[in-house]
Chain A
Amino acid sequence: MSYGWKGKILRVDLAKKEASKEDLPEEWMKKYIGCRGINDIILYNEVGPDIDPFSPDNKLIFGTGPLEGTPVGMGRVSVQTKHPKRFIGEGGAGGDWAPELKFAGYDFVVIEKKAKTPVYLFINDDEVEVRDAKELWGKDTREKKILVRDKTGIPDIKVASIGPAGERLVSDAKVIFTEDHAGGRGCGTIMGDKKLAAIAVHGTGGVSIKDPANFLKAYREFRKILDLKETIDVFVPSWAFFSAHTMLQGFSEVGQLHAYNAQRGRINNMLIPEEYLTRHVVRPETGFCCPYPACGRRFEIKDGKYAGASGDEREGGFAYCAPIVGITSWTTILKWRELCSKAGIDQFQVVYSIAWAMECYERGIITRKDTDGIDLKFGNDDAFIQMTQKIISRDGFGDLLAKGSQEAANIIGKGSERFLLTIKGRELELMPQRNGYQMALALAVCENGPDHTKWYPPYPPNPRALPKDITVPFDPFKAFQTRSPEDKGRLVKWLYDSRAVIESLPSCVFVVRGILGVDMNLWLDLYNACTGENCTLDEFIRKGERIVNLERAYIVREGFRRKDDTLPRRMLEEPIADTYIPPIGKNLDVMLDDYYRHRGWDIESSIPKEDKLRELDLHFVVDDFRNLGIV
C-alpha cells in the first residue's frame, strides 16, 4: 500500500445502480500528485470532445489526494465535470466530507450515467449502495442532510448534496459539502442532471503516513508560519479572524470593488466587519483542520426583517458581493448567503447576473414589465432577495437569469451585452482587474472560466519583505507593479503551477500566506514525509505545470482558443468612474503574449506546443491533437 493513499477509485453507475472498485494507477499518483490533478486525467481520458455535458456519458468526479485525511489536507475535495459551457467545471470545497471518504477507503468517486428517478449514494466503508431519494428531491441542502442522517441512522454521517438550484439545472449550481461548504461551479448542475441528490459517507479507517517524525516537524513549521504572533505576513493576523472581511474597508478606500456592476470602485457606507463580528457572529466555524482560529464563522441574525437566518460562512468573500448590487446592509447579505447555500446556487452567478440586470434596468433596456414588477434598482434590498428567490425557483425573469447572464444578454439583446461581466460565458469572481494586472491576466487565461482559487493569493510578494534566501522565478520588483504589464507572464505562470501543486496535495489555497506562497520547500517536505517519495523541488513544480498544461489541452480539445482568453468589455474599455483608474486596453494582449511565451504555448492560438507537451511527458496529448487535426 502506498502511504497517504487508499489506492481505490469507486465507480458508480447510476443507470444500473451498481458500484465497482478499481485500483488507482501508480503512474497517476507520481505524475499528477492527486485531487485536482488526477481528476483532470480521468476527465481527459473519459470525457472527450464528442460528449455533450448533459449526456449520460459526462462524468462527475470527486477527488481527494495523498494528504487528505491528515491535518494538511484541510478537508479539501475537488469536484470536476465537463461544465455545461464545455470548459472544465472544477472547484474545491472544504468540510469533513473528503477526509471521511478517505477514512471509508476511497480516494476518488466517479459518477457515471444517469439515474431515471432521484437517488442518493450511500457509502459506509465497504458497503456502497445507490438508494432511492424520492423524499430528498426538492428539499434544500440542510434538509437533505438531516433527512439522510435520519434515514441512515448514523448521527455523524457526512453529506454532500445539491439544492433546488442543482435539481432545476441552474447553470452554475454547486455541490454543498457538510456545513455550507460549497464547491464546483456547474458540478451541481450536472449532479442534478444525473438525478443524484446526495452522497452520504461514513468511514472508520485512517490514513497512514511514511515518516511521522518529519511530518510533525514540517507541520509545526507550517503552523508557525501561520501563527498570529510569529508570522511575517501582515495579512495573517487579520485573516485569522475576519478572513476576506478584513479588507472590506480597505478595498473600498482604494477603489478595488466591483461596485454597481464594476462601474465604480467605491461605495458609500461600505459594510463594516466589526459590526458583523459584534452583532451577528456566534462562534468560529472552520473546515477540517483549518489552522486559522476563525477563517470561517457561524452567524445568526437575531432581530429585524430577516431574524432567524443562520449559517456558516468561510473565507468571507460573500461580503464583497454586497457592493456589486449596491447593498449596504449586513442582514440582507447574510440572509442572501443563507438562501444561496440552502439552494446550492453559485453566489457569483446570482450576484453578477442581478447586477447586470440592475444596470440594464437603470439604463432602460429592460423595464418593470420584464422583471415581473420588481423595481430592480441598485441598492434595493428587497428586489435583490426577491430576484435571488426567483432565480432559485426559475420563476419568470429569474428563469432567464438562471441560464447565466451571458445567455440572458443573448436573448434580450438591445446592447445589454455591453454591461456583462463574464469570461468564457461565466460570471466573474470579485477579483479586481483594472487595479491589478496580474489578476486580469490570471482570470483571462483560467481553464475553468474565471476562478481565483487557481492562483490565489492575488498580491505578488512584496520584494522588500521577501526573505533573502528565497529565489522566485520572476522579477519581484517588476511583478509588484500591479498596474504595469511587465513580467506578469512569469508571475502568473508561477502562481498557476505552484497553486496547482497545492490544490492537488490537496490543501487549502487560503493558507498560502507568508513564505508558503513563494517557497514550495515546506509543501515538498510535507508531501515527501507523507508519501515516502523522494521528489525534488523541480519535479514538484513540474507536476503542477503538467496539470495546468493538461487542463489547457482539455479546453483546447473543446475548441477554446486565445480569443476566449479575454476580459469583459468594461475592464478593457472603461475606466473606473470614481477613481479614474484607466481601462486595461491593449495591455492584456501584451501580457497574454508574455504568458504564452513563458508557458511554451503557441502565441496565436494558445495551443500547447509539441515540445512542451513532450517535455512534460504528455505524449498522449500530442497524439490526440494530431488525430483530431488540432495541429
Chain B
Amino acid sequence: MNKKVFVVANELCSGCRNCEMWCSFFEGNKNEFNPSYSNIKIVKDAEGKLNIPTVDCDGKKCHHNEEGEPICVEMCPTGTLIFTDSEDLYKKRLELEEKKRLQPLFKLIVPWKYPYPWREWAKEDF
C-alpha cells in the first residue's frame, strides 16, 4: 500500500504555478490547461507577501510519472511540494532546516532535489 503523503514547504514556493497548470492538464480534459480543474491552487495575496500552495488531493489517484512522482512534484522547480512517506519526511525537514542554516541557497530550494554542489567536477573540465 502506498503510504506516501503530500507535504508543502510553503516558505520555498516561488508562486510559479507549474504544479497548478500541470495538475489541471491531467485532471481535466487531458488536452487543456485550465486552472479551474486543478487540485492545487496557489493562493497569493494582492500585497505579494505570501504564496501558499493549497493541495486538495492525496496524490494517490492522479497522474504519476515513471519514478512514481505525481506530475506536480515533478514539475515543481524549487521542491516545495514533497511527496514521501511519513518517516522520511521528518528526516527531510530536519535536513532542510540544517542546510538552510549553513548555506543561504537553501532559502530557495530543497537540498534533496538539488544537492549542492550540483555535480561532481569532471576531470576534463580542468
Residues of A at the B interface (CB closer than 8 Å) are 69-71, 96, 103, 142, 145-146, 149, 155-156, 179-180, 204-210, 212, 223, 228-229, 237, 241, 274, 277-278, 281-294, 296-298, 312
Chain B residues lying within 8 Å of A212, measured Cβ to Cβ, are 25, 30-31
Select one of B28, B33, B36, B108 contacting A294, CB under 8 A: B108
Residues of B at the A interface (CB closer than 8 Å) are 11-18, 21-22, 24-25, 28-37, 43-48, 51, 75, 77-79, 104-105, 107-109, 114, 118-119
Select one of A156, A205, A277, A278 contacting B34, CB under 8 A: A205
Given contacts A237-B118, A290-B77, A293-B78, contact A103 B14 (CB under 8 A): no
Given contacts A71-B75, A210-B31, 6 further A-B contacts (CB under 8 A): A179-B15, A241-B105, A274-B104, A284-B12, A284-B14, A297-B108
Can you pick out 15 interface pairs between chain A and chain B where the beta carbons lie within 8 Å of each other? A71-B22, A142-B47, A155-B45, A206-B28, A206-B37, A207-B34, A208-B31, A277-B107, A278-B104, A281-B104, A283-B13, A286-B77, A288-B17, A296-B14, A298-B48
Please determine whether B104 and A207 come into contact, CB atoms closer than 8 angstroms. Answer: no
CB distance from B125 to the nearest CB of A (A): 10
CB distance from A244 to the nearest CB of B (A): 16
Given contacts A208-B29, A283-B108, contact A292 B77 (CB under 8 A): yes
Please determine whether B31 and A294 come into contact, CB atoms closer than 8 angstroms. Answer: no
Chain B residues lying within 8 Å of A207, measured Cβ to Cβ, are 32-34
Please determine whether A241 and B16 come into contact, CB atoms closer than 8 angstroms. Answer: no
CA distance A212 to B93 in the complex (A): 35
Given contacts A156-B44, A241-B105, contact A209 B16 (CB under 8 A): no
Chain B residues lying within 8 Å of A179, measured Cβ to Cβ, are 15, 44, 48
CA distance A282 to B12 in the complex (A): 9
User: Lowest 7 A-B CB distances belong to which pairs?
Assistant: A206-B34, A284-B14, A294-B108, A208-B32, A206-B32, A286-B14, A293-B78
Q: Among B44, B77, B114, B118, find the residue whose CB has the most chain A CB atoms closer than 10 A.
A: B77
Please determine whether B36 and A290 come into contact, CB atoms closer than 8 angstroms. Answer: no
CB distance from A71 to the nearest CB of B (A): 5
CA distance A596 to B32 in the complex (A): 43
Please determine whether A294 and B14 come into contact, CB atoms closer than 8 angstroms. Answer: yes
Q: Closest A residue to B47 by CB, please name it.
A: A146
Chain B residues lying within 8 Å of A228, measured Cβ to Cβ, are 114, 118
Given contacts A142-B47, A212-B25, A228-B118, contact A288 B34 (CB under 8 A): no
CA distance A163 to B37 in the complex (A): 35
Select one of A142, A156, A290 contacting B16, CB under 8 A: A290
Please determine whether A289 and B107 come into contact, CB atoms closer than 8 angstroms. Answer: no
A-B contact count, CB below 8 Å? 118
Please determine whether A277 and B104 come into contact, CB atoms closer than 8 angstroms. Answer: yes
CA distance A293 to B110 in the complex (A): 10
Chain B residues lying within 8 Å of A277, measured Cβ to Cβ, are 104-105, 107
Please determine whether A71 and B21 come into contact, CB atoms closer than 8 angstroms. Answer: yes
Please determine whether A284 and B78 come into contact, CB atoms closer than 8 angstroms. Answer: yes
CB distance from B94 to the nearest CB of A (A): 20
Please determine whether A289 and B17 come into contact, CB atoms closer than 8 angstroms. Answer: yes
Chain B residues lying within 8 Å of A205, measured Cβ to Cβ, are 34
CA distance A423 to B47 in the complex (A): 37
Q: Closest A residue to B29 by CB, please name it.
A: A208
Chain B residues lying within 8 Å of A312, measured Cβ to Cβ, are 48
CB distance from B97 to the nearest CB of A (A): 15
Q: Among B16, B28, B77, B114, find the residue whose CB has the most chain A CB atoms closer than 10 A.
A: B16
Chain A residues lying within 8 Å of B104, measured Cβ to Cβ, are 274, 277-278, 281
Select one of B46, B107, B114 contacting A283, CB under 8 A: B107
CA distance A298 to B98 in the complex (A): 22
Chain A residues lying within 8 Å of B29, measured Cβ to Cβ, are 208
Q: Among B28, B37, B114, find the residue whose CB has the most chain A CB atoms closer than 10 A.
A: B114
Please determine whether A209 and B105 come into contact, CB atoms closer than 8 angstroms. Answer: no
Please determine whether B30 and A288 come into contact, CB atoms closer than 8 angstroms. Answer: no
CB distance from B1 to the nearest CB of A (A): 28
CA distance A291 to B75 in the complex (A): 8
Please determine whether A281 and B107 come into contact, CB atoms closer than 8 angstroms. Answer: yes
Q: Among A284, A289, A290, find the residue whose CB has the most chain B CB atoms closer than 10 A.
A: A284
CA distance A209 to B46 in the complex (A): 30
Chain A residues lying within 8 Å of B51, measured Cβ to Cβ, are 283, 285
CA distance A173 to B98 in the complex (A): 44
CA distance A291 to B46 in the complex (A): 23
Chain A residues lying within 8 Å of B17, measured Cβ to Cβ, are 96, 288-289
Q: Closest B residue to A226 by CB, please name it.
A: B77
Chain A residues lying within 8 Å of B21, measured Cβ to Cβ, are 70-71, 289
CA distance A277 to B31 in the complex (A): 39
Chain B residues lying within 8 Å of A293, measured Cβ to Cβ, are 14, 77-79, 108-109, 114
CA distance A206 to B114 in the complex (A): 32
CA distance A277 to B14 in the complex (A): 15
Q: Closest B residue to A100 by CB, please name it.
A: B35
CB distance from B16 to the nearest CB of A (A): 5
Chain B residues lying within 8 Å of A294, measured Cβ to Cβ, are 14, 78, 108-109
CA distance A205 to B37 in the complex (A): 10
Please determine whether A283 and B12 come into contact, CB atoms closer than 8 angstroms. Answer: yes
CB distance from B44 to the nearest CB of A (A): 7
CA distance A284 to B14 in the complex (A): 5
CB distance from A385 to the nearest CB of B (A): 22
CB distance from A284 to the nearest CB of B (A): 4
Chain B residues lying within 8 Å of A290, measured Cβ to Cβ, are 14, 16, 77
CA distance A290 to B18 in the complex (A): 8
CB distance from A122 to the nearest CB of B (A): 15
Q: Among A71, A179, A237, A290, find the residue whose CB has the most chain B CB atoms closer than 10 A.
A: A71
